[in-house]
């Protein structure tokens, strides 16, 4: 081999060694990244396991909340119906009270008319009596006075 060939071979070997060193560095870097990725995967697996463990608890809590919500809805509907019934009863009571007040008012008016009619009848009877008794008393008084004063 000629010295040029030897130099060429050495340069080629050096380049190959340089490339190998670069490949080793890249491999080391990739191994480091692989270990980081492995750690992250382990963490993710732990989280998934915890979530899977808590999944039944979450489903149980959701079921419980749904049951409570349904119960609350039923209670609300029942309260609403009872309030509507109470309002209707109050309206009916109000109508009854207004009717009673109207009946009381008309009864008072009727009683007032009867009393006024009775007063009118009493006054009329009084006037009828005086219409009859007045001339009789006047004639008796006239007769007495005339007899007493004319004698």
The string of pLDDT tens digits covering residues 1-21 is 677 888 888 888 898 998 888
Q: What CA–CA distance (Å, rounded) separates 101 from 32?
A: 97
Predicted pLDDT at 70: 92
Predicted pLDDT at 72: 92
The string of pLDDT tens digits covering residues 16-50 is 998 888 889 999 998 999 899 999 999 999 988 88
Radius of gyration of the chain (CA): 62
DSSP track, 88-109 = HHHHHHHHHHHHHHHHHHHHHH
Residue 5, token pair as written in the block: 């060939």
The string of pLDDT tens digits covering residues 53-95 is 777 888 888 899 899 999 999 999 999 999 989 888 888 888 8
Buried b (16+ CB within 10 A) or exposed e, 1-16: eeeeeeeeeeeeeeee
- Name the nearest CA neighbour of 119 among 127, 108, 130: 127
Q: Which residues contact 9 (CB under 8 A, 6 or more apart)?
A: 1
Residue 65, token pair as written in the block: 């909340």
Q: How far is CA 66 from CA 56, 71, 85, in A?
A: 15, 9, 28
Residue 114, token pair as written in the block: 């009867």
Look at the pTM and tell me if it is higher than 0.85: no
Q: Which residues contact 1 (CB under 8 A, 6 or more apart)?
A: 9
Place of tokens 């007493």: 148
Predicted pLDDT at 151: 62
């Amino acid at each position: 081999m000629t010295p040029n060939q030897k130099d060429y071979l050495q340069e080629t070997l050096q380049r190959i060694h340089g490339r190998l060193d670069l490949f080793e560095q890249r491999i080391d870097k990739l191994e480091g990244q692989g270990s980081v990725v492995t750690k992250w995967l382990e963490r993710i697996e732990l989280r998934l396991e915890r979530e899977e463990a808590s999944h039944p608890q979450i489903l149980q809590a959701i079921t419980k909340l749904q049951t409570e919500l349904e119960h609350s809805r039923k209670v609300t509907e029942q309260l609403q119906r009872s309030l509507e019934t109470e309002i209707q009863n109050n309206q009916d009571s109000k109508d009854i009270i207004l009717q009673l007040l109207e009946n009381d008012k008309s009864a008072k008016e009727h009683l007032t008319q009867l009393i006024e009619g009775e007063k009118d009848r009493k006054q009329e009877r009084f006037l009828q009596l005086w219409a009859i008794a007045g001339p009789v008393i006047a004639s008796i008084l006239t007769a007495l006075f005339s007899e007493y004063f004319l004698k």
